[in-house]
Each structure stands twice: as structure tokens, then as C-alpha cells.
């Protein structure tokens, strides 16, 4: 899942297209050392599909390649493969593929800080999804549009999009979309200063993700819940959330999330008057952020 490096939240908006099956945007939850193996396999698959003239399958393969490059921080290669996926979808009139490709291209723009460009792609993705009755695609587009608005400080508009996306996901029985919407909505409510509401959304996401063992979104919900817990004076709850978030990030080999969890833990230490420990924690988190940014 690519997330923007938004300064508005510790983790950035959650991409609701994560952990979906092909051909929609799929971001492999594998150890970093296996990314290249997976990439080699996808390249072999792409060659076979191209030789067979299977443009639908080829588009899915390009989408997965783009996703892997995206995870590795290679935005140029990610964009190149997402555009190939878009071209494959256009060639056969695959509107589901078009919607997914526009969302993925928009995510690269969001990560690069090209917000107007990202908004255009997300809007196009949402319009296509609406035209074919793809509720999952509509929800994904709404959440991505909300992510742009949240990043740009348009918090009320973002909250409205997240609320609509949550309703759509629940009606469709889309657990991944609903979980992402809960975390995003919690982040928006936190920005609005509605801390108890934010915690309600985060706690609901934690419960659901714990039951489903959806560790990536669970980690996000725990980390994001730290700041509003501190805001309402729940130091113990904040410390527990940071600790659990760190454990899940380490156990799932999520380098960026581990850095975010360590920063959250340092904030808890600072709030508790443990200033030397907090200083050390912030320093450690900064090193890990730098390592995540330099990941090949």
C-alpha cells in the first residue's frame, strides 16, 4: 500500500485498494527480501501473457509490477507500469481495469505532492466506477479523494468523503474498504478536534482487523490512535497502542510503520516526562524513516 508522506498524520492516508485481489491494485505484503523474487515472477508472467495476447491478464501483471515498484519507493517505475496497465485496459475497454489504473496513477501523484494531478486521476477513477456500478471502486476513489483533501487541510470535505466511503463499504460487505475508511475517518475527526469520535473509529477498526488478522490496517489504526489518546489524557492507553503498533509493524516487517510506531512511542514518553528516553526514541525513529526512504 502506498501511503502519502502527509504531515497531517503519522502514517498518512490509508489506501483502500490494498490487499485486494487482481486485477485491482494489489500491494504484496511480503518481506522486503522477497520483493525482487516476486518482481521476477511478474515479469515472466507478463511476457507469457503478452505472447498469448491476453491483454486483461497483462494489465493485471503490469498493475502488480507497478505495485511492487511502488512499495520499493521507485515511483518512476511504478508509474511506467501503471500506465501500461491503463493502456491494456483502454485497448479492450476494461472499465474496471481503467478505474483501478487511474487510482494507482493518482497515488503516485499523491506521493509526489502533485495534488491537483492526483485529484484529477482519482475523480476519473470514481466516475468510471460509478458508471459501471462498481461500489468497491467508488469507495476507493472517494477515500483517495478524501486523502488529497486531508493532506491539503480540507478536513471537513475529507471527512464527508470518508463517511460516504464507509457507508458504501458496509453496504457492500467490503471489509478492507470499511477498515480503511474507519482509519481515515478517525484521522479526519482527530484533525477536527473531535478526539472521542476519532477514538471510536480507531477502536472499531482495531477490533475488526484483530478478528480478521488484517495486520497492516490494524497497525495503522493503533499508531493513529496514539495522538487522540494523548489529547484526552489517556497516557496508559496511548502507550499500549504505540507498543502494540510497534509489535505488529516489526512482526509484519513494515519498515515505515515501525518508524511511525517508534515516533508515536517517543511522543508518549515525552508526554509522560521521560524526556531523555523520548529524545533517544525520536532519534531512532528519524534514522528508520531515513532508512525506509532510502530502501532500494
Q: What is the pLDDT of residue 25?
A: 34
For helices 255-271 and 235-251, give the axis angle rounded to 10 degrees: 160
**If pLDDT is split at 50, 70 and 90, which confidence band does 31 have?**
very low
pLDDT digits (tens, 9 = 90+) for 166-177: 999 999 999 989
Q: What is the pLDDT of residue 291?
A: 78
pLDDT digits (tens, 9 = 90+) for 203-245: 999 999 999 988 889 999 999 999 999 999 999 999 999 999 9
pLDDT at residue 49 above 90? no
Q: Which residue has the cell 491494485?
A: 25
* Lowest model confidence (mean pLDDT) among 30-34, 93-97, 203-207: 30-34
Q: What is the pLDDT of residue 21?
A: 28
Q: For residue 133, what are the contacts with CB-CB under 8 A and spacing of at least 6?
A: none
**76: number of Cβ within 10 Å:** 8
How confident is the model over 267-294, as a mean pLDDT?
Answer: 90
pLDDT digits (tens, 9 = 90+) for 110-162: 999 999 999 999 999 999 999 999 999 999 999 999 999 999 999 999 999 99
Q: What is the pLDDT of residue 218?
A: 94
pLDDT at residue 58 above 80? no
Q: What is the pLDDT of residue 51?
A: 67
Q: Which residue has the cell 496497465?
A: 85
- The burial class, CB within 10 Å (0-12 / 13-18 / 19+), for 166 is buried
**If pLDDT is split at 50, 70 and 90, which confidence band does 70 have?**
confident
- Report the mean per-residue pLDDT for the chain: 84
How confident is the model over 46-69, as a mean pLDDT?
Answer: 77
* Lowest model confidence (mean pLDDT) among 13-22, 65-74, 263-272: 13-22
Length of the chain: 296
What's the grid cell of residue 97? 481495469
- The burial class, CB within 10 Å (0-12 / 13-18 / 19+), for 99 is buried
**First and final C-alpha spacing in the chain:** 16
Measured CA to CA, the distance from residue 144 to residue 99 in angstroms comes to 12
CB 56 within 8 A of CB 88: yes
**212: number of Cβ within 10 Å:** 13
CB 154 within 8 A of CB 191: no
Q: For residue 230, what are the contacts with CB-CB under 8 A and spacing of at least 6?
A: 238, 267, 268, 271
Report the percentage of the chain scoring pLDDT > 70. 80
Q: What is the pLDDT of residue 233?
A: 96
**If pLDDT is split at 50, 70 and 90, which confidence band does 5 have?**
very low
Give the DSSP per-residue string, 124-160. Answer: HHHHHHHHTT-HHHHHHHHHHHHHHHHHTT-HHHHHH
- The burial class, CB within 10 Å (0-12 / 13-18 / 19+), for 53 is exposed
User: Where on the phi/psi map is residue 193: left (φ > 0), alpha (ψ -120 to 50), or beta?
Assistant: left
| The dihedral formed by the CA atoms of 260, 261, 263 and 269, expressed in degrees to the nearest 10 | 170
pLDDT at residue 23 above 50? no
How confident is the model over 59-72, as a mean pLDDT?
Answer: 84
Please tell me whether the overall predicted TM-score, pTM, comes out greater than 0.85 for this model.
Answer: no
Amino acid at each position: 500500500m502506498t501511503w502519502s508522506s502527509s504531515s497531517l498524520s503519522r502514517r498518512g492516508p490509508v489506501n483502500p485498494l490494498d490487499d485486494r485481489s487482481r486485477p485491482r491494485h494489489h500491494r504484496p505484503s511480503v518481506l522486503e527480501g522477497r520483493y525482487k523474487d516476486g518482481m521476477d515472477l511478474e515479469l515472466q508472467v507478463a511476457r507469457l501473457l503478452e505472447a498469448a495476447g491476453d491483454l486483461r491478464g497483462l494489465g493485471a501483471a503490469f498493475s502488480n509490477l507497478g505495485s511492487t515498484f511502488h512499495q520499493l519507493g521507485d515511483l518512476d517505475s511504478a508509474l511506467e507500469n501503471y500506465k501500461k496497465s491503463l493502456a491494456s485496459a483502454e485497448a479492450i475497454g476494461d472499465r474496471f481495469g481503467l478505474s483501478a489504473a487511474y487510482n494507482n496513477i493518482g497515488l503516485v501523484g499523491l506521493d509526489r505532492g502533485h495534488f491537483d494531478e492526483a485529484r484529477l486521476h482519482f475523480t476519473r477513477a470514481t466516475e468510471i466506477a460509478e458508471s459501471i456500478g462498481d461500489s468497491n471502486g467508488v469507495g476507493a476513489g472517494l477515500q483517495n479523494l478524501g486523502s488529497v483533501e486531508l493532506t491539503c487541510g480540507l478536513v471537513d470535505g475529507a471527512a464527508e468523503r470518508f463517511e460516504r466511503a464507509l457507508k458504501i463499504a458496509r453496504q457492500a460487505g467490503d471489509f478492507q474498504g470499511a477498515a480503511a475508511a474507519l482509519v481515515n475517518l478517525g484521522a479526519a475527526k482527530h484533525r477536527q478536534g473531535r478526539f472521542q469520535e476519532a477514538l471510536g473509529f480507531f477502536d472499531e477498526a482495531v477490533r475488526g482487523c484483530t478478528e480478521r488478522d488484517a495486520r497492516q490496517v490494524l497497525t495503522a489504526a493503533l499508531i493513529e490512535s496514539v495522538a487522540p489518546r494523548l489529547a484526552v489524557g489517556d497516557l496508559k492507553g496511548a502507550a499500549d497502542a504505540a507498543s502494540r503498533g510497534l509489535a505488529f509493524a516489526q512482526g509484519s516487517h513494515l519498515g515505515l510503520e515501525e518508524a511511525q510506531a517508534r515516533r508515536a512511542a517517543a511522543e508518549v514518553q515525552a508526554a509522560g516526562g521521560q524526556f531523555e528516553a523520548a529524545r533517544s526514541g525520536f532519534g531512532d525513529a528519524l534514522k528508520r524513516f531515513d532508512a525506509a526512504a532510502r530502501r532500494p
